[in-house]
Structure 1
Amino acid sequence: MVNYGRSGGCVTCRERRVKCDEAKPKCRACHRLRLQCGGYKTKYANLKFKDQSHKFHSQSVMVRSATKPTQEYSLRPLSEPDSAVPFYLHHYARMGRDMSSARGFYEVLIPIYCSQQQDSALSLAVSAVASQVLSLWRHDNSPRPQVAYAQAVQCLRRTLQDSREWGSAATILAVLSLQLFETIAAIYGLRSSTQIHHNGAVSSLPLARAGDNNEILSAYTRQFILHSEICSAIRQGRQLQTVASSWIRDNGLFTVPDNPSAALDAIGVSVARLQAQLKLEVQSGYVTLSREALSEYIAKTRQVDQQLLTWTQCVPDHWQPLRLTNGWSIDSSIPVYQSTCEIYPSCQIATIWNLWRIQRILIIKMKLSLLDAQGELECDSMPSNLQGVAELQPIFQELVDGVCYSVPFYLGNLRKPLSIADFTDSTILFPSSHVLGHNVNWNKQFSYHPQVAVEEHRRHIIAQGPWHVMSPLSRLLTFHSEEYGPPMKTLFRPGQYEWIRDQFLRVTTLLHILPADANTYSGCGSVSESFDPRDLDTMAENHASRVRQGATFMSGP
């Protein structure tokens, strides 16, 4: 639960220095005198969470979950009486988050949420997503999330009737929260995600303004809109929307300083534009591609690839993955690829690295397309083309290896569909937990005793890990099966595709996202064990394609 300060009268009554009855949404005094009620503000207090795990699992242990004492937010009552909102904010918006790796949504959600009235659009949108998330953890089919979603949409429509709210950080976060709700529903429904909320957020960029109290929070919110648009453009192989391109041209992408994620997004703009251009060329069969244009494309791919390589030299030292091998006594219950895994300070940082890897793989794919085009223009260049492919293959394999090495960090030895009880299950192991307490640089990310830091680190991986790794794994399966462009399946190491396939199906088992083909699947073990090996590849690729359709507007690779 959240502790919040004692509220006073409305702003208007305070200014008039008269007694306020504190009626909601408007006090009676203002209503009687036909005055504009200024709403309610509360005293500042530290944001504190009280563990309510006993509501979900009788054997839960108490977890210290107070925020850092330096964080002070203006608070007000929760928008619903149960534990969905604090569960959601604690495990997704607070744990594993750091402003240095912020993309701009979860990291600013708590302070902006706490500045809103409980019947605001943002409060209702957060309530809808929280109810949806907790319902998934409880494995129930409660209609409450859909009811809360409908209420949030209605409230947002009323809010948008006031033009002063169009560019506020709270309104934009409400829109982004509703898009997240739609994304989760689409993934679990194995359908394409609608983009009405995403488009609404993008269209708000020209209207975005500094927040009421904190310009930095608003800057991060705008950053997340751009991040989501860049990621979705790359997923769909399209150009950025005109509104986003115009914003970047006129205002620049770096609305937040010293943020490696924002710096990677800036490179992602070039990746998206180059990919969309070459996709059109591939579909047209390079009929109109001249030697000069080919040379220009080759130069662009080299330039973007060099920018991606330079990015790795600018990230903080503690962001660098720590590679563990059998010498670290990795528990045998944790599946690893080539007896190796890499661990990171948080899921967020690991996913930023995987986004970097996917962007480099996309550049390799573009280079392969250009080699094909070069072969069409110069019939005698086949030996040089083969040499080019041979040079790209080890780079590709190294990048795919990196994604595979990150899987144990995200998943540990998890195998069964996730439930609330997993947060207190001592048999669930992660390769990073025993390292965290001994790494000085990583402990700078926490203000707690090392043992508490280890426990929080473990809980945030259980909550977020499968979601974070689902996208890069599905992306690799897509690279293997894509029909347009050069075939990339020959670039994988022997057996690597099968390992990736099984880990993706393992993730969807954990999240209880069953394949459309799995009508008879019991859900008690691994999906891959329930199918004929001859049908497994097709089923996995179809499943990955459906999941990616739902995740089109999700943050990440």
Structure 2
Amino acid sequence: MVYRGRPSAACFACRARRIKCDQIKLGCTQCRRMRMQCPGYHNPLDQLFRDESANVAQRAQKSYRNAKYCAVGSRRDASTQRHEDLSSEANSSPMQPTTSCHQSDIASPSVLPGLSQPIEAVALAHFMSSYVPRSHFDYLPGIFAQPFTGLALSATVHAVSVASLAREVGHPNLENLARRLYAKALSETNAALAVSQTATSDATLISVLLLSLFEAIVWASPGIPANWNTHTRGALALVKLRGSRQFDSPIGARLFAQVANIICIDTVQQKRRLPSDLVDILKVAEHHHSGHSRFKFASLTGEVADLRADIDAGGMTTDEVLDAAQSLDGKYVEFASFLRTLMDFQEFVLKEPRSGVYGNKVHYYPSHRAAQFWNSYRMTRIVLNETIHDHAFGLPCSSRVGIQEYAIANIQQMAEDICASIPQYTITSGFSDIFDVCCSFPKSSSADTQLTFSSRKASTMSLLWPLSTVRGIHLASEDVKAYAVERLQALGSEFRVPQTYNLVAGCSEADALEDDGLHMFYVS
């Protein structure tokens, strides 16, 4: 690897102006003196990898052509002498022997003939640079680089890396290799779980989470894969086994928050009560990290899951449902005020229409994680207000109309805000150029506004479920649903998610969060 110099730790504004930055966490002094909002700092992990996706894709396409030519040539009816001549030429050539074209499913180095590096190494570099930086696994490079992390983590990382590359290039040999590596990863993870010392390690929990990600990547049929649910339950069992010790380290608390997010969203989507084990651990987490936004939000989401499960089970009166849903919606509004103090966003009004933008409003978020947090808040409020609207039909007309109009207004606002969050992560270049605003707007030096096809993969994949949610809202306006359908189809095509076509083709107006499976990308 070529040394490219020590990466700058200055904020984006100071780096662009080539001035010294004091790197204060909440905003540097230089930006404050200029009376501008500090645009933030680079993620150091983002600078450890150079995006070689274009070169990888070019080499892969070339190897496909070579493999195809080789396969066609082997079927030609030629004389024995001619075959010997060709073999002699091949052996004297510095290129790979032609036999590698017929053994692509035996040894991984020949899966894509012509690559100068083993395919696992290419896939790993691609995965670490394209998916990891803006995903829930952005901590992975630091963990993976540590010695003695165990065979399970290494095996699962390689399996997921090859699966990710296989889906992107659509090569069957890569898909077969990914499944073989997955089988090995399962074996190594089970071996780690069988030993008490390794079962509770960070590396083993990460391995289980990566197995869930693998299931999401290879997912191809309607519904949720049974193995994804199995790995999710396994992760919950591990955080219970890890106990309060997991909150003694930042990575331990981070991993618990990741698991809690998966379980909470899955239970809301499936209309199940939050597992009592997770409720107990959440109380411990809030005790160790009071005021932590993710733990507070997980507790609120658990209340929504319990309400949906109770409604689905029957037995609640109309008044009880409305009181509970309205109370929860009020808690979310209150939580939004708290959230703005941590990760507020800016809203800009465009002076003219722009392709890929709904209406004339666009949001700018300090990070992809902030955008996802806000969209989780919006999707949950959509569910609550749909519940309020639908159960208000049991009230007298004099009371019903006002409640339903208020619920519809909330739903429409949440849907529009989700759509306003899309352009920052789908417009690949010149995002800040679409605005005619003051100079305090963070210019294109921001990491989240310079997204290539590859580097925006994880952030864009996490937009599919919010868009699907908007698409399924029967109370939203037709134009906002049409925008969601168009973006869902475009992004699904770009990132090879065929399930989006089924959703768009069906265009059903059911429960916005029900059974589309896209939430696996959202939490993985």
Same fold, TM-score > 0.5, yes or no: yes
- Corresponding residue for 2:360? 339
Tell me, yes or no, if the aligned pair for 1:129 and 1:177 is still in contact at 8 Å.
yes
CA distance in structure 2 between the partners assigned to 1:492 and 1:259 by the alignment? 32
Q: What is the Cα deviation at residue 266 of structure 1? A: 2.2
Contact 1:128 1:148 in 2 (8 A): yes
1:362 pairs with 2:383:
yes
Cα distance, 1:542–1:308 mapped onto 2, change above 3 Å: closer
Match of 2:392 in 1: 371
Give 2:200's aligned residue. Answer: 167
Number of positions where the alignment pairs a residue of Structure 1 with one of Structure 2: 422
Q: Say if 1:299 and 1:430 are closer, same or farther in 2 by CA, change over 3 A.
A: farther
- Specify the alignment match of 2:162 in structure 1: 131
Percentage of matched positions with identical amino acids: 17
Distance 1:351-1:357 versus aligned 2 partners, 3 A rule: same
Q: Distance in 2 between matches of 1:546 and 1:276?
A: 14
1:386 aligns to 2:401 (yes or no): yes
What SS class does the counterpart of residue 240 from structure 1 fall into? coil
CA distance in 2 between partners of 1:510 and 1:84 (Å):
19
Cα RMSD (Å) of the superposition?
A: 3.9
Q: How does 1:198-237 map to 2 (within 5 A)?
A: 198-208=232-242, 215-237=249-271
Residue 311 of structure 1 corresponds to 335
Secondary structure at the counterpart of residue 342 of structure 1: strand
AA aligned to 1:368 is H
Alignment of 1:79-478 (within 5 A): 82-94=121-133, 96=134, 105-117=136-148, 120-141=151-172, 142=174, 143-186=176-219, 188-194=220-226, 195-208=229-242, 215-249=249-283, 251-253=284-286, 256=289, 259-281=292-314, 288-290=315-317, 294-316=318-340, 319-327=343-351, 332=354, 334-372=355-393, 374-375=394-395, 381-412=396-427, 428-429=428-429, 431-432=431-432, 451=445, 453=447, 456-458=450-452, 462-478=456-472
User: What letter matches 1:474 in structure 2?
Assistant: S
Say if 2:268 and 2:304, in contact at 8 Å, map to a contact too. Answer: yes
Unaligned runs of 5+ in 2: 4-44, 60-116
2: CA distance between counterparts of 1:500 and 1:47?
33
How far the C-alpha of 1:496 sits from its partner, in A, is: 2.7
Q: Any conservation in 2 of the 1:191–1:547 contact (CA below 8 Å)? A: no
Report the alpha carbon displacement of residue 432 of structure 1 after superposing the two structures with TM: 4.4
Cα distance 1:556–1:402, how it changes in 2: closer, same or farther (>3 A)?
Answer: farther
- Amino acid in the other structure paired with 2:372: T
The structural deviation recorded for 1:510 is 1.5
Q: How far apart, CA to CA, are the structure 2 residues paired with 1:550 and 1:337?
A: 25
Instruction: Indicate the residue corresponding to 1:550 in structure 2.
Output: 517
1:420-450 deviation line (CA, Å, top 9, x unaligned): xxxxxxxx4353477799876969xxxxxx7
1:121-175 CA-partner distances (Å, limit 9, x unpaired): 0111111111111222223221221111111101111111211222211111100
C-alpha displacement of 1:114: 2.1
Cα pair 2:489 2:504 within 8 Å, conserved:
no
CA distance change for structure 1 residues 162 and 516 in 2, over 3 Å: closer, same or farther? Answer: same
**Cα pair distance change 1:326/1:402, threshold 3 Å:** same
Quote the residue 2:71 is aligned against.
Answer: none
Inter-partner Cα distance in structure 2 for 1:269 and 1:470: 23
CA distance in 1, matches of 2:392, 2:301: 22
The answer as to whether partners of 2:223 and 2:515 remain within 8 angstroms in 1 is: no
Alignment partners' CA distance in 2, 1:505 and 1:226: 30
Q: Deviation per CA, 1:220-264: give whole Å up to 9, x if none.
A: 111111111001001111112232233335x24566565433332
Q: Which amino acid aligns with 2:205?
A: I
Distance 2:49 2:252 in 1: 24
Contact between 1:344 and 1:432, CA under 8 Å: does it hold in 2?
no
Matched with 2:479 is 495
The alpha carbon displacement at 1:190 in A equals 3.7
Please state how far the C-alpha of 1:325 moved relative to its aligned partner: 2.8
2:151 and 2:437 mapped to 1: Cα distance?
41
C-alpha separation in 2, matches of 1:79 and 1:118 = 22
**Does the Cα contact within 8 Å between 1:326 and 1:339 map onto a contact in 2?**
yes
Distance 1:356 1:513, change over 3 A: same
Aligned partners of 1:233 and 1:239 also within 8 Å: yes
CA displacement at 1:396 relative to structure 2: 1.4
Which amino acid in structure 1 is aligned with residue 153 of structure 2?
L
CA positional deviation for 1:502:
2.1
TM-score (norm 2): 0.70
Does the 8 Å CA contact 1:433/1:457 hold for their aligned counterparts? no
Alignment partner, residue 527 of structure 1: none
Question: Is the contact made by 2:240 and 2:281 (CA closer than 8 Å) also made in structure 1?
Answer: yes
Distance, in Å, in 2 between the alignment partners of 1:165 and 1:157 is 11
Are the counterparts in 2 of residues 351 and 468 from structure 1 also a CA contact under 8 Å? yes
- State the distance in 2 between where 1:2 and 1:165 align: 35
- Offset of 1:358 from its aligned partner? 0.6
Q: Structure 2 vs 1, CA of residues 55 and 517 (structure 1 numbering), >3 Å: closer, same or farther?
A: closer
> 2:363 aligns to what SS in structure 1?
strand
Task: Give per-residue Cα distances to partners, 1:497-528, cap 9 Å, x unaligned.
Answer: 2232222222211222235988xxxxxxxxxx
* In the alignment, structure 1 residue 505 sits paired with structure 2 residue 472: no
Q: What is the alpha-carbon distance in structure 2 between the residues aligned to residue 357 and residue 385 of structure 1?
A: 23
TM norm structure 1: 0.66
Tell me by how many angstroms 1:537 deviates: 6.2
Q: 2:414 is aligned with what amino acid?
A: L
Q: Deviations over 1:485-505 (max 9, x none)?
A: xxxx2x222433223222222
Q: Which moved more, 1:210-219 or 1:153-162?
A: 210-219
Q: Secondary structure at the match of 1:56?
A: helix
Gaps of 5+ in 1: 4-44, 60-77, 98-104, 282-287, 376-380, 413-427, 444-449, 481-488, 519-535
Deviations 1:442-484 (A, max 9, x none): 69xxxxxx74746755567632243011001112233x3xxxx
